[in-house]
A and B are shown apart, each in its own frame.
Chain A
């Protein structure tokens, strides 16, 4: 016997409008009667299983979409944005009149590649403040990323305006000792995605408003994540520093946090801005 025959009936008054409101008491009684008569019939169970399955499949699709976004889409979009942000930052330095003191160009510097005895020291500022850019020809013809103070993921490493962070406990740029920076190997623009492709002698340029610190890549090292000895003025050692080292840290293997890959470079020279960009830098600027 169909349920509806046992439900309380309500007949709209004759001649009234066709859509008459059902009184609340009757509506309530109907609902209660439906609830009372509810049974887990085969059809109801099928529906619950069907909807659950659809929800799970939808969730699965979204997890896959998220992974695609994280590993590819956001990586590529962040990478382009970081290159543009780095180029814009460096352009700003190029536009302002030069305020650094004249460098001594008399002694053996007539070639145009300045070998200043003491490169200026660029102090890193407040957290997340961008104070330099890094250009690495080996990382591609447009690679130009900003370096900001601090290694906080949310304000420095993951954002589209920077990507590379300076360890505040390490030395300042230009100081004798170790200028250490961190960057993602994968995802979030992956500034150091090709860190393992560096070859001995590759130049790494760090640009500030004063000019270009020219480093040459020396070697790679693989360490455990808690090995902070790589940040010492002489990495892994407890001796007095004599050189100016650049240390880059990233994760290893790719997409994992199990180990760290470390790249060491040594300062070769400093090129003041008034001498103009080194040719490799000029090529990157032209391409970007």
Chain B
């Protein structure tokens, strides 16, 4: 998968690394901004209240 991604990226090795860095930052930003908050609200319920 990652080998194929490396092959289809254009340019020299450093161009590929630059493109991949931008992609990684984009993926991380999406995760931190939207995916992680959703996952925390959906899957984790750290209860801090007393309830019957």
Contacts and interface: CB of A to CB of B under 8 A. Distances in A.
A25 to B, nearest CB: 29
B28 to A, nearest CB: 8
B46 A231 contact: no
B1 to A, nearest CB: 5
Given A153-B45, A231-B50, A55 B36 contact: no
B35 to A, nearest CB: 8
B48 A70 contact: no
A55 to B, nearest CB: 7
Interface in A156-174: 157-158, 165, 167
The interface residues of chain A, by DSSP majority, are classed as mixed
Interface stretch (A3-11, A178-186, A238-246): A178-186
Interface string B41-52: 100111111111
Contact of A70 (B2, B44, B47, B51): B44
A151 interface: yes
Interface in A107-159: 151, 153-154, 157-158
Interface string B1-45: 110000000000000000000000000100110001101110011
Nearest to A165: B49
Contacts of B49: 151, 157, 165, 167, 182, 249, 260
Contacts of B1: 50-51, 54-55
A237 to B, nearest CB: 16
A250 B46 CA distance: 10
Contacts of A183: 48
Contacts of A186: 46
Interface string A47-67: 000110011000000100110
A176 to B, nearest CB: 21
Given A51-B1, A55-B1, A223 B50 contact: yes
A251 B47 contact: yes
B29 to A, nearest CB: 12
A75 to B, nearest CB: 11
Contacts of B41: 153-154, 158
Contact of B50 (A65, A184, A187, A260): A260
Contact of B52 (A157, A184, A228): A228
Contacts of A157: 48-49
Nearest to A73: B32
Interface of B: 1-2, 28, 31-32, 36-37, 39-41, 44-52
Interface of A: 50-51, 54-55, 62, 65-66, 69-70, 73-74, 151, 153-154, 157-158, 165, 167, 182-188, 192, 223, 225-228, 230-231, 249-251, 255, 257, 260, 262
Given A65-B31, A70-B44, A228-B52, 10 more contacts: A65-B36, A66-B31, A184-B48, A187-B44, A223-B50, A249-B50, A250-B48, A251-B47, A255-B46, A257-B45
